[in-house]
Chain A
Amino acid sequence: MTRDCKKKSSPGFFLFFAETLLEAFRVKSNRHVSSMVILRQILFTGYEALPLISFLALAIGGLIILQGTNLLVNFGQGIWVHIILVTVVVNELSGILTALVVVARSGTAISTELGNMKVRREIDLIESFGISPTGYLVVSRIIGVVVAMVVLVIYFNVIAVIGGWLFSRIFNHLEFRAFMNDFLSVLKISHVVSSLIKSIVFGLIISSVSAYHGMSVGHASTEVPQRTIKAVVTSIFAIILSDMLITWLFWVFR
């Protein structure tokens, strides 16, 4: 599949997304979907974000336990603090906060990198080879970001639970086994599935929106920061809306 076999046009986002999905589904036959680009993207989006995600997850998990315990103990309901941990962290915060970190780091990087490549006519160069820029540059990044998002969200949940236990240990002298028993008693498979689905959807949104805005830059370098800002704002809106939609769907079909 070469770039030449498509008519040139300036697609809107949904056409761009459809073309990207089409290229992604042909990933095995697409020689130009670079495994090196995918690995580099996973390294940048996933591995290099671990310190920030670790700090956030530990702090959020701990703070929720701390605030929740303070509040619920007054009513003799301290045990229910684990429900808050599951509901707030596993269901919502892990996906949203990880997505915001990935938007800030990788979304801006993708949009800026592709935008600068457009300005420097590197996209034209790739096209002149007959290689699809969507297949070579966009699909690889989308796969990389989605894989990294899923791993980061799982990692966030694990670290947040550990953070919650650490604070419980410090303030309530709660044993790990007891803490995990309480936590697992309220954790359902639907919570985990919802969290994973959200991470995949958020990864798709961040990478495709950022790539679209990067590829939409014309020939002026001043467009690059403008497009990057649009990528960030659109990604955040889309993430929150899709989060509400997925949560609502799980609530309806629970």
Chain B
Amino acid sequence: MATTKDGLVSALRTPTGAISTLMVAALIVLAVVAPYIWADEAARVDIPGLLEGSSSDHPLGTDNLGRDLFARLLVATRLSLTLAVLAVAVGACVGVPLGALPTVLGRRGGRAIASFIDFSLAFPSILLVIFLGVVLGVGAHAAVLAIGLSAAPSFARLTQTLAASVASSDYVAAAKVLGVPRWRILARHVLPNVAEPIILNVTLAVGFALLAMSGLSFIGLGVQAPSYDWGRLLNEALGRIYVHPETALGPAAAVVIAGLAFNSLGEALAAAASTRPAAVPRRLLREQKTPHPASVSSAVGADAAPGPALVVEDLTVSFPSRFGVITPVRGISFALSKGELLGVVGESASGKSLTALALAQLVPYPGRVSATRLEIDGHDLRTMPTTARKRLLGTSLAMVFQDPGTSLNPALRVGRQIAEVGEVHGGLGRRAAMRQAVERLRGVRMSSPARRARQYPHELSGGMRQRAMIAMGLMAEPKVVVADEPTSALDVTVQQQILQLLRKVRDDTGASAILISHDIAVVAQFCDRVLVMYAGRIVEDVEAGALHTGPAHPYTRALLASIPDMSTDRTQPLATIAGRPPDASAIPDGCAFAPRCDFATDRCREDRPDLAAVDSTWQRVACWYPRTGPVAAQNTPELVGQ
């Protein structure tokens, strides 16, 4: 999470942010110094020169006592801003505690406060200001109170919403379990974590309060003579608007400019707060174009037996970041035979999911994908025109994501969404597409498919939604199904059913599948071949059956040894791997696993091993010192580190 400081800095970098900051700063300086410089001039009565229009001495003319209006305008900055800030302070001081109360009070008290906030929000705030202004009486104090009180409900609602989400977080739950008193939870846990958006809102509110204050003064409810703010000046000048319009324009312009300055500063801060990782220097985006040195074993895929369904060579995905270009996928190459079930395993930040996204050309902006070869079913994706590529991807490649809850549109019936694929890519009519959709739902063994097709995604369970996603992928008879953690959100018994379903799809249609998972046991059981990824590279390419008999890379072996399974010796501690995977922004030069590896030498730390065949088999490993033999029985000291 970035700090407020980062947010401020990036807010200042945008043109709006920079200009509004400068304007607000200028206004504050003016408010401080103007009364010292121009107070005398603003108060000097000059009876012969009363009610004059614009002149070189008096740029905005004079008032009914001959006082210089420009000087009065500048001097009024202090009072106008002070009253606006005071009003917001009143609003925040009433609203924020009110909004925070529901998190402190019990269920019933909280509900009462929430209803009160709802109730007070129902009043239009400008009417409330005028009503309160009239009730509280005429004058600056009353106006400040009126505006403050009318701003309070929106502060209360904002605080309430933000505080509610923080209050449901696990760290607040942990504090409750420890018995931390409620007021302390509020002060230490809730308020610091909601402060940032509330402060942003304060800035916005100052702009609003300034307008409202000027409005009240203008209609005579606010500041009273002999004091004056911009609204009062506007009020006094109104009578002469047809004779000397400049006298009224001055204060009007001041109100508008100040209001705009605070509003746009608030907007800029809010924008900066909501898009934290933004503000990437252009320079970094351009640097990307330098091609990566090819480091591919050329034998890849060329002779894969029945013609590969997918060939990937030197696939690289990189993102610009504050730390320079980071490259989470670093030149990976593999080929997928027709009908093959390929597993990709790795920990977080290994690049496995980005690899899947890159295959489907779904890497989000500003990520960049490059490859020396990227072919689906013999068609090169890189050289194709965009429309043809989209069509090919739409028909030949099916993606199944981890969370079936978010990958289906909640507002559309399941059948409609599936049928749409047939209409767009299969050129089917509405009826025929729907018939095919129901057929596909039956194919993925959905119970009563016709009824399910008429239901909305939220009416289906997680497993059924995942089936629906697979059915959608099958509409276009894909050559390759890419499934990224398709069962991680599901339960083991359902997981097994979904994996069996993917197998059945392969058997029925001859499609290949790539299963991406963090769970090496799932992958080993489901797939024919497994790619093990570490820090953006493939470190081992091994037949699934050989995973437990002879993995060659120390990482694969350590990973297998560290995961408990149903035969792990319960009397011994689990083997662990010291350290943690490297951050994508700081991947070591040599073998990325070397710092955690028990067998690493200086060679490993300096010189990165390429993926190369082990002995005469087609198992490939990126290691200078590949191991042989079965992984030692679980939790023996072979790899116990730390």
Genuine A/B complex: no
Query: Which B residues form the contact surface with A (CB < 8 A)?
Result: none
